[in-house]
Amino acid sequence: MHYQEYEIAIPLKPYVKVIWSMESPGTAVGTPPMRILPDSCVELVIHFHDPYSTTFGSGKTDPQPKSIIVAQMKGYIEISPNGRIGMVSVRFSAQGAYHFFGVPMKEIANGVTSLKLVWNHLAQEIEERIYGCVNTVEKVRILQTYLISQLLKNRQQDRTIDYCLKLIYNSKGLVSIEDLSIKTGTSNRQLVRKFNNRIGVSPKEFARIIKFINAVNYLRSNASSGFAEVALDCGYYDQAHFIRDFKEYSGLTPGEFLTTEMNVVI
């Protein structure tokens, strides 16, 4: 399996965290599934070989389209290869994604959405051009060119959202919507509407996700700590609330997370 990251074009750097590709020399059927946990980012994936299948927490499994958007997630998914792996992907920051897609992000949150439903005929054009490239570097160059074009078309800066996200990140999710409302001079209802449009989930939900991400990272670095201690240090009311949130977002208890042999990514 060959994984590679690429230089991000200057106009995209404020909005994109990483651009990467992955390709296998042959079939990857039978490879264990990968469990993807909520990570606050939005991923755009173009398959140029065989698309994966996605299994949701409900147990439902769907084949992925050739080009997809995985927006804000409120639960885990598992992905499995169906043949030869070949993809290029762009990972947007939470505050970066809405500048590119031109739709309320809530409409595509918590699922796997075909890019054709958002960019219509443009998605087909991108797929065809990427399929026709002789190497992955050229595929990435073409994709970035289209992204810059979409940025110029859809960019709509929302400084209230950007400021709220900064507060949520800096507090590791331990900030209330009431605090955000006071600090921004924006009503709770307006903040919820803005977050649904720009991020895809409410500010309360997004803060919970960030708190969960912090707890996962803390748990990985302090595996010998008791769960009650982890819960307290990560801002949970008690151990029961910590375990409940952990199970909701990962499908695993903290103990299962530490001992599982499955490939879990956040």
pLDDT band of 1, cuts 50, 70, 90: confident
Does the pLDDT at position 266 exceed 80?
no
Cα torsion 107, 64, 13, 99 to 10°: value is -20
pLDDT at 262 over 80: no
Distances (CA, A) of 46 to 117, 178, 198: 14, 39, 23
192-197: average pLDDT = 96
Superfamily holding 159-261: Homeodomain-like (1.10.10.60)
* 128-177 pLDDT per residue, tens: 999 999 899 999 999 999 999 999 988 788 999 999 999 999 999 999 99
| The pLDDT of residue 127 is above 80 | yes
- pLDDT tens track for 5-53: 999 999 999 999 999 999 998 888 888 889 999 999 999 999 999 999 9
pLDDT of residue 70: 97
- Rounded distance between C-alpha atoms, residue 61 and residue 96, angstroms: 29
Alpha carbon 80 to its chain centroid, in Å, reads: 17
Cα–Cα distance for residue pair 137/124, rounded to 1 Å: 20
pLDDT for residue 156: 81
CB–CB of 37/117 below 8 Å? no
Position 178 pLDDT exceeds 70: yes
Q: Is the pLDDT of residue 264 over 90?
A: no
Specify the pTM.
0.93
**DSSP element (H, E) containing 78:** strand 77-80
CATH number (1.10.150.120, 3.40.960.10, 3.50.50.60, 2.60.120.10) of 2-154 reads: 2.60.120.10
**Residue range 62-110, pLDDT digits in tens:** 999 999 999 999 999 999 999 999 999 999 999 999 999 989 999 999 9
pLDDT at 215: 94
Domain boundaries, the chain: 2-154, 159-261
pLDDT of residue 265: 75
Predicted confidence at residue 222, as pLDDT, reads 84
Q: Are 50 and 83 in contact (CB under 8 A)?
A: yes
Report the pLDDT averaged over residues 244-259.
92
Q: What is the pLDDT of residue 261?
A: 62
Tokens of 97: 């994604």
What confidence score (pLDDT) does residue 31 get? Answer: 86
What does the pLDDT look like over 197-229, one tens digit per residue? 999 999 999 999 999 999 999 998 887 788 899
Is the model's pLDDT at 260 over the cut of 90? no
Confidence of residue 250 (pLDDT cuts 50, 70, 90): very high
Confidence at residue 58, expressed as pLDDT on a 0 to 100 scale: 84
